[in-house]
Amino acid sequence: MNILLRIRNKSLMECAKECLLTSQCKAINYRKNWKLCDALGDRPDGEAIQDESGSVYSDISTWPKALAGKCADHNCDNGKKCIIKTNGVTSCEHAYCKDESSETPFAVSTETFGVYANLEAGNQYECIHSTYELVGKPFVICDKKSKKWKRLFCCVEKRDSISNGSPDYINNGMKFSTYDRDNDNHTTDNCAEKYRGAWWFNACYMSHLNGEYDQNFPSGIQWKTFGGTLSSSIMEIRRIG
């Protein structure tokens, strides 16, 4: 179900009003026992309305536009809702992520009533199988600054990306290489220079957690089993023995 906004502590009539104020809202789903309002966009093709005890589904076209007051005839862009300010002036302001949340590899949402797109909303996820572990914070949020979805985690296989893989690229046991101290095992390249960050390179790496942030593969922050570029990493060192 395409949930544009999820709003708590609203009456059924207030829920309908929220939908009328919100661009692209076509219907509401109201859970009276929770006082929980979902403002819904277009229903995906082929998706049937689920019969849920204690839930009221209503097409917004059956409600009077007058509920929205001065915002009754708003033409706010997708992703925005009409706000009536204290001086009576109306304004269209960002309220939700207009794009659908992209599929998160090896993870599934744990939200009881489905993923919702409110600005700054944090939808919780978990890895789909016990062979994967979650790295980061288990949320996908609608970022307030970019108005786009932002994933704060990844699900990776429970194996070591430092000591597993091709023998020429295993990082474990390697010397530390920098731009001016080329200690890697590559026959022609300086791996630290080529991949823009000092690291325990072999020839060159299975994983590289000291790459430049916001760079694409292969120069970004890499962990082989993740399969993409990470936004950040934390490295901790402990004494052995």
- Whether residue 240 sits in one domain with residue 209: yes
Residue 162 reports pLDDT greater than 60: no
- Whether residue 144 sits in one domain with residue 77: no
Q: Give the domain range for residue 171.
A: 161-241
- Whether residue 235 sits in one domain with residue 165: yes
- The domain total for the chain is 3
Buried/exposed code over 201-240 (b: 16+ C-beta within 10 A; e: otherwise): bbbbbbbbbebeeeeeeeebbbbbbbeebbeeeeeeeeee
- Whether residue 147 sits in one domain with residue 120: yes
Give pLDDT tens digits for 30-78: 999 999 999 999 988 777 777 888 999 999 999 999 999 999 999 999 9
Torsion angle of the four alpha carbons 102, 106, 111, 116, in this order, in degrees rounded to the nearest 10 = 0
CA angle (196 as vertex; 210, 138 as ends), nearest 5: 35
- Whether residue 68 sits in one domain with residue 136: no
**Mapping DSSP to helix (H, G, I), strand (E, B) and coil, where does residue 132 land?**
strand
| pTM, to two decimals | 0.66
**Does 137 map to a domain?**
yes
Report the CATH number at residue 28.
Answer: 3.50.4.10
- Whether residue 213 sits in one domain with residue 132: no
Confidence band for 166, pLDDT divided at 50, 70 and 90: low
**Does 102 map to a domain?**
no
Residue 207 reports pLDDT greater than 70: yes
- Whether residue 69 sits in one domain with residue 10: yes
**Does 99 map to a domain?**
no
Torsion angle of the four alpha carbons 75, 79, 84, 88, in this order, in degrees rounded to the nearest 10 = -50
Please tell me the predicted confidence (pLDDT) of residue 74: 97
